[in-house]
Amino acid sequence: MSQQHTSTVPTLTALPVIDLSAADGTPEEQDVLHAELHRAATEVGFFHLVGHGVTAEETARLTSAMHAFFALPEADRLALSNLNSPHFRGYTRTGAERTGGRSDWRDQLDIGPELPEHRPDDGEPAYWWLEGPNQWPANLPQLREAALHWLDRLDEVARRLLHELLTAIGARPDFYDPAFAGHPAHHLKLVRYPGSSPEGGTQGVGAHKDYGFLTLLLTDGVPGLQVERPDGSFLDVPPMPGAFVVNLGELLEVATDGYLKATNHRVVSPPGARERYSVPFFYNPRLDAQIAPLDFPHAHHAPGATADPANPLFAEFGRNELKGYQRAHPEVARRFYAMS
Ligand SMILES: O=C(O)CCC(=O)C(=O)O
Ligand SMILES: [Fe+2]
């Protein structure tokens, strides 16, 4: 009789911790970093990142400007409504964003690189309209300064991290550098979860994948983030002070033909009137970057990217991002984009 081999993969109970400063360490330390990154990126697709070099002062400048923003009178926040922005920039009031067809109980300010409006000409892809100016509150100059600094600073961290991750899976570290040359379409959200909804709903943000390469998430001390395990159950991610929570986005899944997976995650509303604040930074390539299949040793036995008719994955980044924004902000999509 043939012997049955049963797999004994233990249930994941905590996210791994990756120390990026080991990239500047001894060859042995670099080997450990690459082995740990390889494992984290192929097993759960999420990890805590320490040793990233972003200082407590830089973080405090961003978070205090964010708190000042959410403390503005509602009329001042609504003056920046993203309903007036074909670039999906500006303020979304609580309950207006949708994930999985349901309202998310959070309000937020969407920010991107400060660029002139790119209104697509006939024949140009619609996604070019994602490029354009931000909307800033007039009386809070420190918000603009801190947020634009954060976009630049996290670009550096994410670039180093992507290089280490590509090295870890046997690829050339600079394989995707051309996709980021010019104007990469990085994105930042300042998010507040204002407790549970009046109807008692718990969807802070519904389960979803992020659209780009990597997300570096800053959270406060309030729990709520959950990561989906392969068996469909969700793991609580407790806050780790000073660390970013990092996850892989859909483009890395496309790039590696599913060897790396974008992992579903969600936020459960904090109980009662407790608030939670977070700042996801999305490390994205140029809108017109076509993500070529990664040349790496596992390319020939990768399982294939997820085929979900409800969420097609596009290798042209602008299409992938516009898909997500139109789904999350249907009112903006109706106003500015001809929806097919
Ligand atoms: O707020 C969080 O902790 C996560 C937010 C998130 O996943 C997103 O906005 O894509
Ligand atoms: Fe996300």
The ipTM value here is 0.99
Higher pLDDT: 153 or 3? It is 153
pLDDT tens for residues 242-266? 999 999 999 999 999 999 989 999 9
Q: Best of 278, 281, 327, 329 to mutate for ligand 1, by most ligand atoms within 8 A of CB? A: 278
> What is the model's pLDDT at position 340?
44
On the question of pLDDT at 234 being above 80, the answer is: yes
Mean of all residue pLDDT scores within the chain: 95
Ligand 1 pocket check for 90: Cβ under 6 Å = no
Measured in angstroms, how far is the CA atom of residue 267 from the centroid of ligand 1? Answer: 7
Q: Best of 267, 277, 321, 325 to mutate for ligand 1, by most ligand atoms within 8 A of CB? A: 267
Q: Is 27 exposed, middle or buried (0-12, 13-18, 19+ CB in 10 A)?
A: exposed
- What structural domains and CATH numbers belong to the chain? 17-337 (2.60.120.330)
> What is the model's pLDDT at position 338?
78
Percent of the chain with pLDDT over 70: 96
Q: Whose CA is nearest to atom 9 of ligand 1?
A: 280
Query: Using an 8 Å Cβ cutoff, are 260 and 218 in contact?
Result: no
Q: Whose CA is nearest to atom 1 of ligand 1?
A: 278
Which 3 state secondary structure label does DSSP give 188? strand
pLDDT tens for residues 259-309? 998 999 999 999 999 999 999 999 999 999 999 999 999 988 889 999 999
Ligand at minimal distance from the CA of 187 is: 1
Closest ligand 1 atom to 276 CA: 1
DSSP annotation of 308 reads -
For residue 89, what are the contacts with CB-CB under 8 A and spacing of at least 6?
Answer: 82, 110, 111, 112, 132, 133, 134, 135
Ligand 1 pocket check for 187: Cβ under 6 Å = no
On the question of pLDDT at 34 being above 80, the answer is: yes
For residue 260, what are the contacts with CB-CB under 8 A and spacing of at least 6?
Answer: 41, 42, 45, 169, 248, 252, 253
pLDDT tens for residues 100-128? 999 999 999 999 999 999 999 999 999 99
